[in-house]
Structure 1
Amino acid sequence: MLSTERLVLRPWQANGASSLYKYASDERVGPIAGWPAHTSVAHSLEVIDKVFSHPEVYAVALKEDNIAIGLVGLLIGKNSNFDIADDEAEVAYWIGVPFWGQGLIPEAVKEVMRHAFENLNVHALWCGYSADNEKSLKVQAKCGFRHHHTEEKKFNQFMDDYRTEHISRITKEEWLAGQWIGIATAP
């Protein structure tokens, strides 16, 4: 479990399926992030069991009530959607629409970045966003990620479509340099 000023990042639990469904059933959340909107609480429970139960995948919950409102996670090495080294990870995230614009996901991502670099000895973190997902681009910029490359007509198996995917990266050295406020301080 990880925590920030406002958030608890904790493992997903089966009793969080109704909360997951509440936010993941909104068509504005999943499809733009590359996955279909959830269709039922049972569907959300299945996603918790088969997708979210991996190590380093966290429910994002407000400290005040500990109810899951989003997700942040690390997909390390071969578990990533990208072709990356075993000592690198992809950062995945989303949050329910009522919580957009409050800086909660950048807060969660920064904590996962700290954890990845300090505790897991990851050497680089990667993020992707589809060309029409400006909100995801803003999160990555706030967290210090820089554009690395673009992949045209990349097949998305979850949505059965092709997308332009922009890939960003930050290395451990860049993070340690702390060239942006709030990311890290040199040890």
Structure 2
Amino acid sequence: MPLNTQRLLLRPWQDTDAADLYEYAKDTRVGPIAGWPPHTSVQKSAEIIRTVFNHPEVYAVELKENHRTVGCVGILIGSHSNFEISEREGEIAYWIGVPYWRKGLIPEAVREVMRHAFETLHLEALWCGYFADNTQSCSVQSKCGFRVHHTEENRYNAFFDDYRTEHISRITYQQWLEHTPAR
């Protein structure tokens, strides 16, 4: 089900998004701070669309103004999460291409996915994580009302075969209601 914001259409990924995905996911400033390697070809991006992004509640972030796919946002529910959470909870994951940093687009997308998670999917809480050096992701989570829950030192990352410090944030449905302006 597509989700709409003022500037964005959040919709399922399509094979035709591979070139746009590669354009932004090949940048070494994007994937490594989020814990995944840069894409190496349009074909690799197409494979990611068919596998990693081919799940319910994983959305392409498309700009309404020009229909370019510039990022990704999704909800990984229960056992699909990278965290040990209940089936009534979800993990929010996201990224956006460098030319669109600091424009408020990812907070806009995350807020809409949060609304959907709480109002449509009736989840009880949402989780997010960010690696210690990812200040942009920390800022997004703070803007969206997430609160740091705990920190995991030496968390293993299989993509890079390394260990990182990850800060884990959480927001409950009640906290979201308190943080969200009256609708």
TM-score relative to the length of structure 1:
0.96
Aligned partners of 1:77 and 1:85 also within 8 Å: yes
Q: CA deviation at 1:67?
A: 1.6
Deviations 1:91-134 (A, max 9, x none): 00000000000000000000000000000000000000000000
Partner of 2:109: 108
Q: Secondary structure at the match of 2:32?
A: helix
Q: CA deviation at 1:163?
A: 0.3
Q: Secondary structure at the match of 1:23?
A: helix
C-alpha separation in 1, matches of 2:32 and 2:43: 19
Q: CA deviation at 1:39?
A: 0.3
C-alpha separation in 2, matches of 1:127 and 1:81: 10
Unaligned runs of 5+ in 1: none
Aligned partners of 1:114 and 1:184 also within 8 Å: no
Partner of 1:33: 34
Partner of 2:119: 118
Structural mapping, 1:53-64, within 5 Å: 53-64=54-65
Q: Secondary structure at the match of 1:102?
A: coil
Q: CA deviation at 1:185?
A: 3.0
Query: Percent of counterpart pairs with the same letter?
Result: 64
Q: CA deviation at 1:184?
A: 4.5
RMSD across aligned positions (CA): 0.9
Deviations 1:5-29 (A, max 9, x none): 0000010000100000000000000
Distance change (3 Å), C-alpha of 1:177 and 1:131 = same
C-alpha separation in 1, matches of 2:160 and 2:25: 15
Q: CA deviation at 1:151?
A: 0.2
